[in-house]
Every structure is written in C-alpha cells, then in structure tokens.
A = this chain, B = another copy of it.
C-alpha cells in the first residue's frame, strides 16, 4: 500500500500523514479528527497555558484511542532589552497614531512559552505516543523524562546539519521543514533565512544525512505532494496549511479569507510578528517594515507592540497587522472537515503513486 512504512510502524498509525501542529489554530477537535482518520493528530502547546494543554489532552484521550502528537517550542526565553523594544515601538509609532491606539498603554509580553517543568509533567501524566519539538530540543534532563514517558521524539530540521544534530541526540525521526512551509521556521543552528533550502532540495539531503526516517514538510497540500515526498525518500509527510481550511481549525474569518485567495507568490518569510522567521501571506505591515527587519525584538517579544495594532485593525475588518500564516501551496487547498481531508489525501496520494509507478 504505502511504499515506505517506517513511520507508520514507528508511531502505530495507519497512514503516513501528520497534522502539522499549529499554535493558535490548533484544537483538540482537529487533532482527534486526523488521528481517527488514521493519520497522526497533534496539539500545539506553544500558545496555551499548561491548564489549557491538560484540558485539550483530556478531551483527545476521551475521544480517540489513536496515537497523538503533543508539540512544544523549545526556545530560550529572551532577556528583555528595554532599549530595543522601545525602538521597535517607536518604529510602529506612526501606525499607533493612524489607528488611534494609545502608545502608552502597556503591551502584552511574551505570548509563547517554551517546554518546561509544568508541560513536562503533562507529558508524564498523559503519555502522548509522539512528542515533537520546534527550535531544537529541550535541555537533556527534560528530554530524558519525555523519553522515559514512552514518547517517540521528533523535531524539525531546516538544514542537513540540524538534522544530524537532532539524530545524534536521539530523535526517532526528523521533520525536514522545507522553505515552503507556513508559520515559524524551526531553524536553531542558523539564523540565515536567505540560505534556507526548499522542500525539494532539503528532503533528499536530510535523508542522506541521517539513519532515522524523515518526515517531509513544506508545500505539501495534496496527493501529488505526498507522492513526491515519498519519491524524494521521505517516510511520511506533515501537512499544515491544508488543515487550516478545515472547520475544526480555530481561525478568524479574516485569516480564512486571506488563505482562500492566496497564490503561489503571495507569502514571504517575516520576523516582524514574533522576532523569528515565519511564513505568512504578505500584507501591509510586512511590506512596509520587512518582510525581515533588523529592528524586531527577540522572539517572541516583537509581537507585543503589534498586538494593539492588530486588534484595532481587525476591529475594522483589516488584516494589515495580522500574522496570516500560510505555506506556499494555499491555492491547492479546499475547505472540508479534517477527517474527510485526511481520507482524500490518502486516496489521492495512493492513486498518484499508482499512476506514476511504471
């Protein structure tokens, strides 16, 4: 059936399709639907409190007995830098004036928490079958506890060097995150956006660099992409943007509308929304300040001063200041429930593999 069963056997799932964990849009319902359809559902914890993670995991455990992937960011919390943040706020000053937002009002601080003691205890309690990390790995002491809880450990690599680094530290599989991918780049041994490789180039070079199976990510949104990932040597795929079109994703109508009309060249990598490079649909603030800016404070602080602008603009129906995360293949996606999407991806991919298989 599937030409490579290393990942389906490793995770105990039927189909080699992983729901990309997307902090923000992630819901228990989305994860449940994908797992129940035979893929690997996920819940992204980076923008949730430990209590919210616990609730989501409880709901998922009640509603499916299939494997689940719990995903965490592993960044080191930034040292606040008042001067840099003041400079950023000054840079945004004209927008505050334009939108009539009081620049003296305090802005929210860090809205993304790294994996730590509290979330590690949730892993130990619920024992998710897979735990995935973004931006490298947590400190060894925590990683050992995750392993002891029985989870398969996977993490994102954006270069072959990062893939080797992760494999040497015991990751059971590597996500090769090509430059097409939406949302935050998992990069952790490099900060050079200009040299990031596309999925087509990255996947075979990661496959050649490590012994463990590789999960292709970035620009995969239909059966053609899944078949192509197997051709390149991947053992599974991770799909993000396509699942943002599902009703189970927590998405504003504004973000949904932007995705519906996004073309192949409507996105770019930007650091202005968080301080780290992430791919989103080009909008006014990206064009005017970046898309990459040397002024953006360290992750995740850049987002704080933008938050009031985003709220004010969105209240008027404008996405000018909103992070409209998307990969480069939004135009390949269709709106449907997540279980149906998973089934269609399976059917399309198997049909495609058969059609090209000589």
Pick the contact of A332: B204, B225, B352 (CB < 8 A): B204
B201 and A180 within 8 A (CB):
yes
Q: Which residues of B contact A230 (CB under 8 A)?
A: 231, 356
How many whole Å from A276's CB to the nearest CB in chain B? 16
Q: Do A218 and B196 contact each other (CB < 8 Å), given the known contacts A224-B233, A356-B227?
A: no
- Of A55-63, A295-303, A323-331, A334-342, the stretch lying at the interface with chain B is A323-331
- Inter-chain contacts of A327 with B (CB < 8 A): 201
Q: Which 10 A-B pairs have the closest CB atoms?
A: A357-B357, A198-B198, A201-B328, A201-B219, A228-B231, A227-B231, A199-B200, A228-B228, A200-B219, A194-B268
Residues of B within 8 A of A332 (CB): 204-205, 208
Max count, chain B CB within 10 A of own CB: residue among A160, A180, A228, A327: A228
Q: Is the beta-carbon distance between B358 and A3 smaller than 8 angstroms?
A: yes
Q: Which of A24-32, A107-115, A259-267 contacts B (4 or more CB under 8 A)?
A: A259-267
Mask, A194-227, CB within 8 Å of B = 1, is 1111111110110010000000001110101101
A178 adjacent to chain B (CB < 8 Å): yes
Check if A205 sits within 8 Å of B329, measured CB to CB. Answer: yes
Decide if B232 touches A225 in the complex (CB within 8 Å): yes
> B195, A268: Cβ atoms under 8 Å?
yes
Q: A265-B161, A329-B205, A352-B231 are in contact. Are A200 and B218 (CB under 8 A)?
A: yes
Question: Within 8 Å CB of A229, what residues of B?
Answer: 228
